[in-house]
Chain A
């Protein structure tokens, strides 16, 4: 099971990958694609495609993709178009908030969950309680 994290900022996904590996451990493959090819803020279809290919190679079950803002979805779509259909079938795109979704999904993957379960766990991040209740 792998994850691919996409952000408009390279620093965001680099930091997030550190958090994910600290919380979930190093057994979960985490690919990242942040920023443009020339290091600006933005997203890049070729960088996303490269991250997807690497993650798919390492994780035969498949990959859950999380991203930060809707405008990354277009680059992601372009990247997916270049993948072979058999590879595309192993990619699940998550609507979950990036940070929370990545942490929850990675921990679920680390306990041996499959693609469906990891995807569902990521999705649950959008209703996660964060502010302590009395």
Chain B
């Protein structure tokens, strides 16, 4: 299962507009995509789940995807987030 850990760098965390763009981008993939923050996780295709994580600045999030287009999903979504994050590894 492809996974990617990112550091949220934007000083206001992951706020509504980028979160909505992220959900819109995630919805184009068939794979199940999960965003993990601390001990909680959210379906990347659900805005309420994503906003409910209340992701703070300077914290790590991990994206993972399961499905036929998992690799493409992760590369698209990390590009989508690139203005707001730095890659950890």
Contacts and interface: CB of A to CB of B under 8 A. Distances in A.
Q: Are A and B co-members of a single complex?
A: yes
A129 B51 CA distance: 7
A108 B47 contact: yes
Give the interface SS of chain B, mostly helix, strand, loop or mixed. Answer: helix
Contact of B47 (A25, A104, A133): A104
A24 B20 contact: yes
Q: Give the secondary structure class of A's interface.
A: helix
A107 B20 CA distance: 6
Interface residues of B, number: 14
Given A23-B16, A110-B24, A133 B54 contact: yes
Contacts of B20: 23-24, 103, 107, 110
A113 B48 CA distance: 15
Given A111-B23, A132-B13, 14 more contacts: A23-B16, A23-B17, A24-B20, A103-B20, A107-B24, A107-B47, A110-B24, A111-B24, A111-B27, A111-B45, A112-B27, A125-B48, A129-B51, A129-B52
Interface of B: 13, 16-17, 20, 23-24, 27, 45, 47-48, 51-52, 54, 56
7 contacts: A23-B20, A25-B24, A111-B45, A112-B27, A121-B47, A124-B48, A132-B54
Interface of A: 22-25, 103-104, 107-108, 110-112, 121, 124-125, 128-133
